[in-house]
Amino acid sequence: MSLSDDSANDAAQAAVADRGFEETSTFRFVPRELAAKCRKLVESYHAMHGFGRLPDMLWHSGARDIIECDRDLMQIFKRASRSRNAKRADESFMLIATVIVSVETLARDFAGWGKRFPAAKREAEEILVDFPQRQRVWFMDKYLYPSLEMQRDLVGTLTPGTPEKAVVRN
């Protein structure tokens, strides 16, 4: 899969090609145009919010299931996690985020991408078929609706937990 057609992402494309990701990937069905748009979405989000959260966003979300089930994604994630070069690590994490958002966009037929590329939609659905739809938190929602993520965090603080000692005031 190539990330985009414009020259701004040539370095990212070279990094992908160096890993052999393009030739052997199960994600080569993702249309270039969709991948380019998803890449811009991921880049713009992290340009505003920083790249420091990206590894945690990937690992502590529904994306983790997809990463763990694909050998290439898992290898890229591990290498990026161990990398001492922050720019290279960020590129790798953004590649993974782009792939996952692209697959979810196709599977959900978001903005008509599934209708436009029905064969790619079927392949995306096959990848996501093992994950329960009702319990799944879509990774792309973190980028499209970030306020929902903050609301989920706030709701988590209100859920009952272990009882603490009550403070009695006289």
pLDDT in 10s for each residue of the chain, 170 residues? 444 434 334 444 444 444 334 555 789 999 999 999 999 999 999 998 899 999 999 998 889 989 999 999 999 999 999 999 999 999 999 999 999 999 999 999 999 999 999 999 999 999 988 776 655 668 888 888 877 665 555 455 445 555 555 555 55
pLDDT of residue 141: 85
Question: Which pLDDT does position 136 carry in this prediction?
Answer: 61
Predicted local distance difference test score (pLDDT) of residue 16: 43
Stated pTM of the model:
0.74
Task: Give the pLDDT confidence score for residue 161 in this predicted structure.
Answer: 52
User: Which residues, at least 6 apart from 102, have a Cβ–Cβ distance to it below 8 Å?
Assistant: 1, 27, 30, 34, 35, 38
Between CA 41 and CA 19 the distance in angstroms is 23
- pLDDT (0 to 100) of residue 148: 62
For residue 40, what are its two tokens? Answer: 């811009």
> What one-letter code names the amino acid at 99?
V
Long-range contacts of 44-52 (CB under 8 A, 24+ apart): 45/143, 45/146, 46/90, 46/94, 49/146, 51/86, 51/90, 51/93, 51/94
Please give the pLDDT value at position 98: 96
Q: Can you read off the two tokens belonging to residue 140?
A: 């792309």
Domain ranges of the chain: 13-24+41-147
Residues 2, 13 contacting (CB under 8 angstroms): yes
- How high is the pLDDT of residue 35? 94
| pLDDT tens digits for range 76-124 | 999 999 999 999 999 999 999 999 999 999 999 999 999 999 999 999 9
Cβ atoms of 107 and 124 within 8 Å: the answer is: yes
What's the pLDDT score for residue 143? 87
